[in-house]
Amino acid sequence: MWIIWAVLAAISAALVIVLTKAGLKNVDSSLAFAIQAILILLITWSVVFYQGNQGDWSSITTKAWVCLLAAGVFTSLSTLFSYKALSMGRASYVATIERSSLVIAIVLSVIFLREKLTWQIIVGGTVMIAGAVLIALSDPGD
C-alpha cells in the first residue's frame, strides 16, 4: 500500500513544481510560498481533525518533537530555496537538481537510520546523479 501513497506523492510534487513555476510570474518566491503555506496549514489540520488525531500530540516524545520541528525547518528552507530557483530557472532543470535530494536521503538514511545499502540502491542512486548532471549541463535553449 505504501507504493500507492509514494506514487501519489510523486505526482503531487510534480504538480507543485509545474503550478508554482506557472504562478511565480510577477510574484516574489517567498510570498508565493507563504500563500501556499496557509493552505498547507489549513488542509493538514483539517485532516488531523477529520481523523480525530488532534489529541495524540501529548504522546509525542521529546526526541520526536525535536526531529519533527527540525524537519519542519528544513521543509520550509527546501521549499523557499526551490521556489527561488524556480523563479530564476526552468522547471525541468530545477526539479532535476532538486530531486537529487533522493540520493542525499539515501546516504543519510544509511548513516543515521542504519538502513541497508544494496547494489541496486547504489546503481539507482548513481544513475539518478548521472541524469541530474546530464540535464544540468545540457543546453537550455533559452
21 and 62, same domain (yes or no):
yes
Instruction: With a cut of 90, say whether residue 92 has pLDDT above it.
Output: no
> What does pTM read for this prediction?
0.83
Instruction: With a cut of 80, say whether residue 141 has pLDDT above it.
Output: no
Band the pLDDT of 135: cuts 50, 70, 90. confident
15 and 34, same domain (yes or no):
yes
- The answer to the question of residue 20 being in a domain is yes
Q: What is the number of structural domains in the chain?
A: 2
Higher-confidence residue of 141 and 85: namely 85
- Residue 69: the pLDDT is 95
Pair 65, 3: CB distance under 8 Å: no
- Residue 48: the pLDDT is 95
On the 0-12 / 13-18 / 19+ scale of CB atoms within 10 A, 97 is middle
- Residue 99: the pLDDT is 87
- The answer to the question of residue 94 being in a domain is no
Mean pLDDT along residues 71-87 = 94
- The C-alpha cell at 74 is 528544513
- The answer to the question of residue 95 being in a domain is no
